[in-house]
A = this chain, B = another copy of it.
């Protein structure tokens, strides 16, 4: 794929800057952990459920240690010590815990190696389950095959039962990937709601039970259609790694997983979410879940013509972060979007340039290409056309994960018919333009090539700048989406702590060992 005549040295240089930027942040990450990381460890030991006030048990336990013990040691040692001291199985211990009201910190702390030994059966069981899920997925995809470009739609009724109906209808209509949008505001909750839910605003709560229900529904309809229908949910937010773990356990296939989104659009503290992201991406990698990053969102806030390079720069950085977390390229669903005002002269050519640029810079990544949203208005016919133009660019630049635009984007989350029509729109383009990408060549030094090279050049300058200033300072300056975020402000900072030299995290230790081997 080489339609843009890009400067390879500049690309390499971008990658080097990004690597250095990510390494800088990684140095910070390595020294810290968060409450959600610790809760994730508990979840992967097999702890689930809520107390009588609907507080998740994992939250109760971590809070307990935070208040009464030394969380900087990590949760692993506390839970292992408790099991050792009480000589109980995890389940029995937890029952007793809630009956007795004794703190988790009431026991003598044991040695690191003992911790590992005691907890191993628990986390191994769950990691095996995850491995099994990865295998099932591979098997099914091998059996049914996978389309070159996959059609991705969302369901967002707030009610998992209604979501199921609509997801199945979407699959029958031709969707390959279904995302269940989360209820507004969930990403700011410092816990994961529990159980099946039927009430949400602009989306359905991400709970493990809801994941399970939807996974089953999609497997069912997939079996009927002889296709594997991928399931997506959202990890970014205060519970990033927990959702990564839940997604792994319930065989989700894609997770929106991007600290940058949380920082910029949710005002989540940057330190908190970078730490969370590292652990969650390791889990994604282990479970074979594709991550989706949120660069597309920048252009819903900033001007898509002037700020296109911020998307590209961020993609390089997200790639570098992902490499740090051992995520292979084939799981890097880096985001980009079709967001230029269609009234701008040659905007379509600029969209081609940008989409092709992303494709050529990250040839092995299953890029997530987002539809027009910002310049959609209530004119549903116009919107249907804009989506057709978007679908054409997808086709012409051979994107992988193709998020379908809705004609009612400016109005409401999709009706069942909106989604159906969106799929038919994409299919008409796919079918009628099947070989277009192969057929068409861009003029040498033409508008498209020039635009792509310019964006790359600007991204290069920006990466250089960020490398000098560091990621935290850059975010303070408001480089991305023109949104300024301070290093020590935002939600969730109180959940960050420095790791003691004696810190132990049995899961991440296991994962790191795994990645070193594989």
Which A residues contact B (CB, under 8 angstroms)? Answer: 342-349, 380-382, 384-386, 388-389, 392, 407, 421, 424-425, 428, 431-436, 438-443, 446-448
Contacts and interface: CB of A to CB of B under 8 A. Distances in A.
B382 A381 contact: no
Nearest to A441: B441
A388 B439 CA distance: 20
Contact of A442 (B347, B384, B441): B441
A191 B428 CA distance: 46
Contacts of A438: 443, 446-447
Assembly of this chain: how many copies?
2
A348 B382 CA distance: 21
Q: Which 10 A-B pairs have the closest CB atoms?
A: A348-B432, A441-B441, A347-B432, A348-B433, A385-B388, A439-B446, A342-B432, A388-B388, A381-B384, A346-B434
A438 B433 CA distance: 20
Given A344-B432, A348-B436, A439-B448, 7 more contacts: A344-B431, A346-B433, A346-B434, A349-B439, A384-B384, A389-B432, A439-B446
A425 B342 contact: no
Nearest to A433: B348
A407 B421 CA distance: 15
- Residue from A345, A385, A389, A433 whose CB has the most chain B CB atoms within 10 Å: A385
13 contacts: A345-B431, A346-B432, A348-B436, A380-B381, A381-B384, A381-B425, A382-B428, A384-B385, A385-B385, A385-B388, A388-B388, A439-B447, A441-B441
A447 B438 CA distance: 9
A382 B391 CA distance: 14
A221 B41 CA distance: 73
A186 to B, nearest CB: 32
Contacts of A441: 440-443
A442 B439 contact: yes
A349 B381 contact: no
A434 B382 contact: no
A385 B448 contact: no
- Residue from A345, A381, A431 whose CB has the most chain B CB atoms within 10 Å: A381
A67 to B, nearest CB: 57
A347 B427 CA distance: 13
Contacts of A382: 421, 424-425, 428
Nearest to A345: B434
Nearest to A351: B432
A447 B434 CA distance: 11
Contact of A388 (B389, B436, B440, B443): B389
Contact of A428 (B343, B346, B407, B446): B343
A338 to B, nearest CB: 11
Contacts of A385: 384-385, 388, 425, 428
A388 to B, nearest CB: 5
A343 B389 contact: no
Given A441-B443, A442-B440, A443-B438, A428 B381 contact: no
Contacts of A407: 381
A431 B381 contact: no
- Residue from A342, A438, A439 whose CB has the most chain B CB atoms within 10 Å: A439
Contacts of A345: 431-432, 434
A248 to B, nearest CB: 39
Contacts of A384: 381, 384-385
A424 B343 CA distance: 11
A385 B392 CA distance: 11
Given A384-B385, A446-B438, A349 B431 contact: no
Contacts of A428: 342-343, 382, 385-386, 389
Contacts of A344: 431-432
Nearest to A350: B432
A303 B413 CA distance: 40
A40 B438 CA distance: 55
B342 A431 contact: yes
A431 B385 CA distance: 14
Nearest to A430: B345
A425 to B, nearest CB: 6
